[in-house]
Amino acid sequence: MAHRTVFALLALALAPLAAAQSYSLVVNGQVAPAPAIVVNGQTYVPLSALKLLGIPNSLKGNTLTLGTGAAPSTSPGGSNQRASLEGCIGETLFNGVWRMTVRKVERIGPDVGLGPGWGVTVEVRNGTTTKTNLHDTGLEAIELVGADGNTLTFQERAAEEPLIYKDVTQAGGITYQLKFQTGDARLPAANAPAAAKLVVSLNPKKMTAGYLREAKVGYTTPTPSFRVQLNCQK
């Protein structure tokens, strides 16, 4: 079966696909696998480019739908239901400010009165032209969603301040093991619920530092939060 690449329209009307001219396409500093094309003066980009920008899409019959539509007044399951950039272990996700990669997931035992759980090693790199930190860029929560649907929240302690508050210079980064633990110190480590997703919730409306506004730093996607599936690897 011949492969068909679907293009999203960036003009008012769909032009006949004839005598197309193609251009290399760069999205958020990364070269996209499929090119942009120009047909009769109209420019089109592949749907894969919209996915890199965090814009969901679906094609059913003759209807192409972009975005998720109106959000329900109540979102079951909490913040892990928020639209996010999605990926797998080893895959780098970029929202215009941060590049985040989950490097490793492993079981951890009880610690300081807390029960066993999961250690998730993440690498977070600054993708802007100025120094910044997670707190000032609208960090709301870091959560681990288990296969049973329950959520473990990353508890911010003094030891975690370098991850949350440390200013990261341009192109600099931090590698850190996030610890998510159950409240039962008697629970064997092997019995901790399986880890399904890591969710890092970022709210653009809560970007606080004045130097970010002065440097015109901002997210390049309306859904800058990260959701990493912990049962797949790239």
Write down the pLDDT at residue 95.
94
Please compute the mean of the pLDDT values over residues 10-16 and round it to a whole number: 40
Provide, rounded to the nearest whole percent, the portion of the chain with pLDDT above 70.
76
Task: Tell whether the model's pLDDT for residue 92 goes beyond 90.
Answer: yes
Q: What is the DSSP string of 50-105?
A: HHHTT--EEEETTEEEES--SPPSS-TTGGGGS--EEEEET--EE-SSEEEEEEEE
Which range (27-41, 49-63, 113-127, 148-162) has the least confidence?
148-162
Residue-wise pLDDT tens digits, 20-43: 688 887 776 667 778 888 887 788
pLDDT confidence bin for 19, thresholds 50/70/90: low
Domain range annotation of the chain: 7-66, 78-233
Please compute the mean of the pLDDT values over residues 135-155 and round it to a whole number: 85
In the CATH scheme, what is the code of domain 78-233? 2.60.40.1240
Task: Tell whether the model's pLDDT for residue 10 goes beyond 60.
Answer: no
Please compute the mean of the pLDDT values over residues 65-71 and round it to a whole number: 58
Write down the pLDDT at residue 193.
77
Write down the pLDDT at residue 29.
66
Which range (76-80, 124-128, 221-225) has the least confidence?
76-80
Residue 124's nearest CA partner among 172, 76, 54, 185 is 172
Identify residue 202 by its one-letter amino acid code. Answer: L
pLDDT confidence bin for 163, thresholds 50/70/90: confident
Contacts (Cβ under 8 Å, ≥6 apart) of 176 = 121, 122, 124, 160, 162, 163
Q: What is the DSSP string of 135-162?
A: TTEEEEEEEEEETTS-EEEPPP-GGGHH
Write down the pLDDT at residue 28.
67
Phi-psi region of 57 (alpha: psi -120 to 50; beta: other; left: phi over 0): beta
Write down the pLDDT at residue 54.
67
Residue-wise pLDDT tens digits, 47-61: 777 776 667 777 777
Higher pLDDT, 78 or 68: 68
Please compute the mean of the pLDDT values over residues 80-89 and round it to a whole number: 71
